Structure 1
Amino acid sequence: MRRIDHFNGITTFVITAQLGSFTAAAERLGLTKSAVSKNVGRLEDRLGVKLFQRSTRSLSLTPDGEAFLTNCQSAIDILERAESALTSHIAHPSGRLRIDLPAAFGRQRILPALLNIAREYPELSLTVSFSERFVDLIDEGIDLAIRIGELSDSSGLVARKLTTQKLVICAAPKYLYLNNEPETPEELSQHRCIVGFRRNQPVSWLLKETNSRVKRYTPPATYEFADGEAMLEAVLAGCGFAQLPLWMVGEYLESGELREVLQEYSGIEIPISALWPQNRQLLPKIRYVVDTLVEMAESGLLD
């Protein structure tokens, strides 16, 4: 029983170190903050060292804690690989899958597939987060992430391209009725524009040039939204122009609720990829979900 207690303490320590707080670790583990703190305290007493520097505002690892965390993570990786090797013959996913999704695309395209899988395989548990910020999969204990855009740094990760999203510039007919339709991107400076907002910066639009090169253009940001669905609502309300993915606005273009403009400058395609830590690439739960998403992409269900 004591060995089991020791392992419980190690798991609590690793999760706390990864998330940087007892409160966040408690939410992840389904425990109270007090229970998490006591588990870590008992582990420190057993080891005879302090693993964390505690203050009223922050929690940080001591040098001993950093060294212990590295060794614990290596041990956990070995155990996960052993579990994967033992269960690699299992055809269905099980266990808890922690997945991070881009907000609008994740809700509209990925989440329904995950829920179908979860209904079909009740042994699979899901922890799903939606974010537009950069998430460090390894540090935050994420098993799988879906990312939109070029992957600037994927060291320690495995990436699988699923599909691409095509970007178009559009506006509502009621806005175009009151304003002249622009013929060049430069004319957008005379219009109201709805722009994405990430990491305290406006998101540049991607435009095609005559030589097929891609140009970044930041229009005047009359409205800034950190959420794609909010941008869509603003465009539909006639607030101005926006550059949005075709999978989001396609039905509105077909119905006439939106109209595409500057088509000769549009059509840039951005990759959509699945990423997971290298040490977890053989886990059945990850492999099954990625294989399902690949099949959906090949069938055009993610477009």
Structure 2
Amino acid sequence: MLKNQFLEIRNFVTVAQAGSFTSAAQALGMTGSALSKSILRLETRLGTKLLHRTTRRVSLTNDGDSYLSDCKDAMAILDEAENRLGSAQHLPAGRVRIDLPTAFGRRYILPSLLELSTRYEQLELSITFSDRTTDLMDDGIDLAVRVGALGNNMDLVARKLGEHRRVICAAPLYLERRGMPQTPADLKQHDCVVGWPLGQKPSWLLKNTDGVTEAHEIPVRHEIGDCEAILAATLAGCGLAQVPTWLVEDYLRSGALVSVLDDQAADALPVHAIWIKTPYIQPKMRVVIEALLLLATAPGSKFEAL
């Protein structure tokens, strides 16, 4: 509907409620002549007479009375929508679509987001879990947490939350059976458990003799598309796996898993919160971002490089 049509409807409702062109014109800041022409245009467009005009007052025709009722209902809906959006500019309200790393997101981020939703009753969350890179715009994601280096995308904002280290480890039973690798080259003689491949050759990140982190191609025994399932396979003695330290720290302390090639461990991977760049961050997004930053800086945070 065109802007002029909205104005004509507003003018008609004002005249009908005032019962006078003169009073309505004063309320609208218009001349009586301009207001009369506006009503005539509306009647012409609708093909019916809406008002009976006399020298002293204005009254509604049957069609006018019915149309006024519909117009008032429509304006009430618009007023409610504007009030709702207006309040949403001050309070965290509405839906935020969030994509999180699978295991880390479930264990360490989800509880804080759920607590946030109980604090703000009008905040609605749609949360997905994925270890694959998604396109925020194409997939309709408002905010994502990503582990690893980010590409150069001028349409996104990134806030670093922390770092994750990775360790290569295996169950003692497996190492007793197959031996302890001493160099990255020894990995070629071992069973390796990896995540689901994304088209590239399977490899693990390790430092070379110059201290530079580089990818080392590895033989694959098992491909498992879930971080916690990879942990289960490693605990079961199925082979070596390169996994985040936060996932296995308790098992390393207890001796259920043993780390290998520690001297060649790769540099920590950055962890970022990313979202689409906008001129204004809505309150619903701001509270989610602030919750992530608070979680990342809390004592003992799992976002820290371990």
TM-score by length of 1: 0.68
Partner of 1:78: none
Deviation by residue 1:256-291 (Cα, 9 ceiling, x = unmatched): 110111110114200110000102751112221111
Amino acid at match of 2:104: F
Partner of 2:134: 135
Partner of 1:259: 258
Deviation by residue 1:179-205 (Cα, 9 ceiling, x = unmatched): 210110111111111122232445421
1:84-233 matches, within 5 Å, as: 90=90, 93-233=92-232
Q: Which SS does the other structure have where 1:189 is aligned?
A: helix
Shift of 1:110: 1.2
Contact 2:144 2:275 (C-alpha < 8 Å) held by counterparts: yes
Distance in 2 separating the partners of 1:132 and 1:194:
16
Contact 1:96 1:124 (C-alpha < 8 Å) held by counterparts: yes
Residue ranges of structure 1 left out of the alignment (5+ in a row)? 4-82
Amino acid at match of 1:286: M
Contact 2:166 2:266 (C-alpha < 8 Å) held by counterparts: yes
Contact 1:132 1:198 (C-alpha < 8 Å) held by counterparts: no
Distance in 2 separating the partners of 1:259 and 1:142:
38
Amino acid at match of 1:206: L
| 1:293 and 2:256 correspond | no
Contact 2:188 2:219 (C-alpha < 8 Å) held by counterparts: yes
Count of residues in Structure 1 that have an aligned counterpart in Structure 2: 223
Q: Which SS does the other structure have where 2:229 is aligned?
A: helix
Distance in 2 separating the partners of 1:281 and 1:203:
41
Distance in 2 separating the partners of 1:237 and 1:210:
32
Residue ranges of structure 2 left out of the alignment (5+ in a row)? 3-84
Amino acid at match of 1:224: E
Distance in 2 separating the partners of 1:218 and 1:269:
19
Partner of 2:239: 240
Amino acid at match of 1:288: V
- Name the Cα RMSD after superposition: 2.5
Deviation by residue 1:30-59 (Cα, 9 ceiling, x = unmatched): xxxxxxxxxxxxxxxxxxxxxxxxxxxxxx
Amino acid at match of 1:301: S
Shift of 1:140: 2.1
Alpha-carbon spacing, 1:151–1:130, altered in 2? closer, same or farther (3 Å) = same
Contact 1:159 1:273 (C-alpha < 8 Å) held by counterparts: yes
Alpha-carbon spacing, 1:236–1:210, altered in 2? closer, same or farther (3 Å) = same
Q: Which SS does the other structure have where 2:195 is aligned?
A: strand
Q: Which SS does the other structure have where 1:139 is aligned?
A: helix
Shift of 1:301: 2.1
Partner of 1:77: none
Shift of 1:87: 5.2
Contact 1:196 1:202 (C-alpha < 8 Å) held by counterparts: no
Shift of 1:161: 0.7
Partner of 1:282: 281
Shift of 1:165: 0.6
Shift of 1:295: 1.6
Amino acid at match of 1:177: E
Distance in 2 separating the partners of 1:144 and 1:217:
32
Shift of 1:136: 1.3
TM-score by length of 2: 0.67
User: Radius of gyration: which is bigger?
Assistant: 2
Distance in 2 separating the partners of 1:117 and 1:156:
27
Identity %: 45
Deviation by residue 1:112-144 (Cα, 9 ceiling, x = unmatched): 111111122221111011122221111222110
Amino acid at match of 1:162: L
Partner of 2:69: none
Amino acid at match of 1:249: V
Alpha-carbon spacing, 1:203–1:297, altered in 2? closer, same or farther (3 Å) = farther
Contact 2:88 2:94 (C-alpha < 8 Å) held by counterparts: no
Contact 2:197 2:223 (C-alpha < 8 Å) held by counterparts: no
Partner of 1:51: none
Contact 2:202 2:220 (C-alpha < 8 Å) held by counterparts: no
Distance in 2 separating the partners of 1:126 and 1:106:
14
